[in-house]
Chain A
Amino acid sequence: GAVVSQHPSRVICKSGTSVKIECRSLDFQATTMFWYRQFPKQSLMLMATSNEGSKATYEQGVEKDKFLINHASLTLSTLTVTSAHPEDSSFYICSAAFGRGGLSTDTQYFGPGTRLTVL
């Protein structure tokens, strides 16, 4: 149980285009979803936390207008990288957790990640 999928797994795009990444919880309802970015040989950096039906909470230094997050349903969150530039090239990972509060939310189940390359 607790499977999270991400699509696409790999995307290459031209500078200036927008890219949408989907994150789905396949067998549970994820009230909270998280988006991370990971540079080579570095740890995960939390970009934003989203709760279903409300606006995402962005971490300091993450541009909300550039990284649009929509958590439209209990099983789907999307991250759109708008007007992508080469410096946005990275590995993007989503995760999902049960519930809105309490310890049950603490265990996150990760998607397989999306490798974005912006030319």
Chain B
Amino acid sequence: EDKVVQSPLSLVVHEGDTVTLNCSYEVTNFRSLLWYKQEKKAPTFLFMLTSSGIEKKSGRLSSILDKKELFSILNITATQTGDSAIYLCALTYKYIFGTGTRLKVLA
């Protein structure tokens, strides 16, 4: 059975801290792994990863995929209160979302 597991389930940090969110998976047909940020409403796209070992960066966020060990991490450096959200990873081609990590950044 295909599954996507994220850890930790929730995390509370202070502004300026660095966080690492994990997404591990078992899927029969892998095509890509995506990271999304969900605040009050629908998710917004962060990254799409298809190849192992190639880091994607966007400002303070970065992500990398390890297709051998079947996981991905999302790093957020110098966290800000605006980073508070649920972070979701998803696997395609069958769109399976992970459980999400709820991040809260305290001022």
Chain B proximity of A89: nearest CB distance (Å): 17
| Residue in B closest to A102 when the chains form the complex, CB atoms | B31
Contact pattern, A 81-119, Cβ under 8 Å of B = 1, otherwise 0: 000000000000101000000010111111111000000
Name the A residues within 8 Å of B48 (CB-CB): 103, 106-107
A106 and B45 contacting across the interface, CB-CB below 8 Å: no
Name the B residues within 8 Å of A51 (CB-CB): none
State the main secondary structure of chain B at its contact with A.
Answer: strand
Q: How large is the interface on B (under 10, 10 to 19, 20 to 34, 35 or more residues)?
A: 20 to 34
- Interface stretch, picked from B60-68, B70-78, B97-105, is B97-105
| Given A44-B88, A103-B50, CB of A108 within 8 Å of CB of B98 | no
**Which residues between 16 and 45 of chain A lie within 8 Å of chain B, taking CB atoms?**
34, 36, 41-45
A103 and B32 contacting across the interface, CB-CB below 8 Å: yes
| Given A103-B31, A103-B50, A106-B48, CB of A43 within 8 Å of CB of B88 | yes
A106 and B31 contacting across the interface, CB-CB below 8 Å: yes
**Residues of chain B at the chain A interface (Cβ within 8 Å):** 31-32, 34, 36, 41-45, 48, 50, 88, 90, 92-93, 95-100, 102
Name the B residues within 8 Å of A74 (CB-CB): none
| Residue in B closest to A94 when the chains form the complex, CB atoms | B42
A110 and B92 contacting across the interface, CB-CB below 8 Å: no
B34 and A44 contacting across the interface, CB-CB below 8 Å: no
